[in-house]
Structures are given as structure tokens and as C-alpha cells.
Amino acid sequence: MDITVDKSIRTPLYWQIADQIKSMIIEGQMADGSILPSERSLAQMLGVHRNTIIKAYSHLKDQELIDSLQGIGYRVTYKSKSFYEPDVRKKVNWSTIIKDEYQDMERTFDDIFLRFTEENNISFSTGMPPAIYNEEDLAADLAAILREEGRRPFYLSPYQGDLTLRHKIIAYLRTKGIKAGLNQVQILSETNQALDFIVTSLLRPGDRVITEEPVSPDVYRVIELAGGKPVTVPVDENGMICDNLEALIETHHPKFIYVNSSYHDPTGNILSVERRRKLLELSNRYRLPIIEEDAASELSFEEKFLPTIKSMDRSENVIYIYSFALTFIPGMSMAFVAAPEKLIKSLSYLVSIRIMTLDWMTQKLLAKYITDGKYYENVQKIAALNKTKRDLMCSYLDRMSDIGVSYQKPRGGVYIWCQLPKTVDSKAVVSESLKRGISIIPGEIFYPMRNGGQNNIRLNYSYETISRIKLGMENLIDIIRELV
């Protein structure tokens, strides 16, 4: 065996030995099954300590190039592979390269959402609007946009978003009592992207963020991936409980407060006016930004619209995220951020380096729908249809009150937060539901520390048809009763 060692260089001796043996094995000089010299004989041959050979052989064993058998010694276990067959000994160990936070993410939500694409799956998990848009009208609108814009270099949208749509959004914001200029509005593809870009702009590793609990996993994942730490505050039927909020601010010095003000995900509750004012008071006192997310304020069933926190803000402390995900065309998501100009510039910069441009066609279509009045007409239709679906789903839940199923009837939005009997685990309900082609969300994933929600499930009534809601709820009743 032709091996040399150089004691004058810094490379460890065992590494030099192992590397040369590895090359001989991979290049075919030592075939599979070949017997290697014993530890003692190779040590004597090279003039090194036996422990050096033991370490070299151990290194080769870790790479699955050799193994050791009692009574035989060390032998080669490497079989040459074809060009197209992966060689695990040369393969990058991706688990050591990819950041831990990207490998250890909560994926229950993602896995369940994938079921939405399966044929005949009944989705009580998907936050999408019902398909009320006429396909022929939609095709005609798209054709009209192409005719109107066809001669312009339209494919790349400005980093801040389509100018026409921004004008429409500014007018829309005025109906909510929010004043904003063109340089205070940023168009983005959806709420998660908006929150991701804001968090990227604001957070440094170790920063604390106050959030509600329960809270959407999309929210706390974005915070954690940016190196932030969620500090959670419980909610009740009036939204985030503010009694101990000031003490948390004093203790943790958070970078901002995140709140889902209208028909909260997952509870469906709405933040009361009194608590909106309290949050704004604390924001002003501590000069602390508030991120207000609003995806469902237009979907009110039984009450007048409450003023947004942003509309009450006179200090430009509130960052307002609005999403069209629940009120526009299914699968054509769009959102915007209304915030101080300095932050908007940061968000536009992130658009320029991360995605280069925004979906031009969806922006033009949304602007056209707002201009023509179709958007507002369809929001009213969606709200009316959602109310019917909510009542239907609640009627089925009422049939399980005798076994301890309870809920608070939402006054708008798309979610029902259900309390299961104490003996029933939400994950068991989810597992059995998936077997029957029904997707729902377990409550536990809405708690960043997994310290709650074991007896809760979140149901969404917005997407499915009346007949499929009936079918899905009949099955869900059977599942829960079987698990009691």
C-alpha cells in the first residue's frame, strides 16, 4: 500500500492517511471487499502511533468506505456506481448547511393545505373566497386589459406597485378614514409577503415582538425566521387582552406590536374599539409601532364597521396591512401596506432585490374591478354568502353541544374556533378527517410554544359550497362522536 505521511505540514496525520486510502478506494485501486492492513502493521509501516491509524480508519468508516469485522479486520465496502447513481460519500450534507430555523419550521399547516389541491377534498382549512366570479366575464375583462395596455411596455410593474391601483387604494383608504399619499402605499402579492418584508426591514436577531395568542403560524414563523422572538398575549371575545400589556412592554422592550384587528385568525373575534384605543395609547406613550393586519373587515355580517387603528393614528405609528385574499378572485391574491414613506421606500427596495416586479395582470384586474364597481358588488355577495354558510356550519356544531363542543359565533370573517370535549385531541380529529377527505386545522399550531389549542380546531366556511359543507360536517360529527 503506497501511503506517505508528511509530519512537517499542518494537516493531521490521520487525515493524510485516510484521504490517501479514500482516493485509492474511489479510483478503484482497492476493490470492494479488499482487506486493509491491521492497525498495528500500518502504524509500523508509516512510523506513526497506532491511535493515528485507529482514527484514520474510524474516519473512513464514518464515510461508509470501510467496515470492520471481528476476526477479519478492516475491509473495503465501497461499490463503484454508475455516473447517474448518487454517491453518498461525495454528497453534500445539506442538513448541516441549511439553517436550523428553516428545517425545524411547523409544517402541519402546509401539509394540510396541500390536501386542498386533491380532487374531491372538502376544505374547511382554506382561507379563500367562494368562486362567485363569472368565468366568461373574467375572460372578457382580461381581454379588455390586454387591448388597452397592449402597446405599452407593461410587463414590469413599478417596484411600489401599479400607479393606477395605488390611486384606487388611496381612494379606498379614505372610505376607512385613512389618509395616505402615493408614496405611503406599497402593493405586494399577499399578506405573508407584506409581513415578511416589514419584519425584514425592522427586526434584528433577538428582537422581541408582541403578538396575540392564538396567532396564525404564518405570523410567528416570519418573525422567528428573521431572528425575532414572539411575546404572546392572550385574546378573548374582544380581541387582545390589554390588562398586562404595559408590563410586557416595560419588560421585553418589543420592536413592535402585531395585531389582527378584524375577525381574527383563528378565533374569528374582532378587536373592540376600547382596546384599539388602548393599543394606540401605549403605542404613542412608548413610541412603539403597531402592525395592524386586516383581511376581513369588509366581511361584516351583523354590525357597522369599526374604525381601524390606522384611522385613529395621528402619529404615523401604525403600519396597516390590507389583504384582498378573502374578497377577490380565488388564487389571485393581492395586498397593500399603508405606512410612513420611509418604511415604504424600504419595502420597495426589497421588491427590487427579491422579486424584481409584481404580478402586473392581477394589479390591472383589481384596479379595473374597483373602478367598475365590481369589487364592491362582489364583496357584498361574498359577505351574504359567507353569512349563510356560517349559519349552516354553526347549526351542525350545535348538534354536538351535548358532548361538550362549543364555539363563539363569529360576527363576520371566515373562521370558527371550536372547543372540543376535553377528552378529544384536535390532532386525532384532524387525522381522522383527512382519512375521509376533509381538511381542518388543529388548534395547537396557533400557539408558538405549543402550550395550548390541544382541544381546539379552526374551521373555515368561506370556500366550499353549501352541499359540500353539509357533507363535510356530517362526517365531522361522526368523527368527533367516535373519539369522545
CATH placement of domain 150-372? 3.40.640.10
pLDDT at 113: 65
Interatomic CA distance for residues 116 and 125, integer angstroms: 8
Interatomic CA distance for residues 1 and 30, integer angstroms: 10
CATH placement of domain 13-91? 1.10.10.10
**Chain region(s) in the chain for CATH 3.90.1150.10:** 101-130+377-483
472 backbone dihedrals φ, ψ, rounded to 5°: -65, -40
pLDDT at 84: 46
C-alpha distances in Å from residue 281, one per residue of 177, 272, 274: 18, 14, 11
**pLDDT per residue rounded down to tens, the chain (484 residues):** 789 999 888 788 999 999 999 988 888 888 888 899 999 999 999 999 999 999 999 999 988 899 998 888 999 987 755 544 556 556 677 767 877 777 666 666 666 666 655 667 899 988 777 778 778 888 999 898 888 876 665 567 899 999 999 999 999 999 999 999 999 999 999 999 999 999 999 999 999 999 999 999 999 999 999 999 999 999 999 999 999 999 999 999 999 999 999 999 999 999 999 999 999 999 999 999 999 999 889 999 987 789 999 999 999 999 999 999 999 988 888 999 999 999 999 999 999 999 888 888 999 999 999 999 999 999 999 999 999 999 999 999 999 999 999 999 999 999 999 999 999 999 999 999 999 999 999 999 999 998 999 999 999 999 899 999 999 999 999 999 999 9
C-alpha distances in Å from residue 118, one per residue of 199, 425, 460: 33, 25, 17
pTM: 0.80
C-alpha distances in Å from residue 217, one per residue of 228, 266, 294, 319, 444: 14, 10, 16, 20, 10
Please check whether residue 247 is in contact with residue 215, taking contact to mean a CB–CB distance below 8 angstroms: no
**Chain region(s) in the chain for CATH 1.10.10.10:** 13-91
C-alpha cell, 453: 389549542
**Chain region(s) in the chain for CATH 3.40.640.10:** 150-372
| Topology at the third CATH level for domain 101-130+377-483 | Aspartate Aminotransferase, domain 1 (3.90.1150)
Interatomic CA distance for residues 433 and 429, integer angstroms: 6
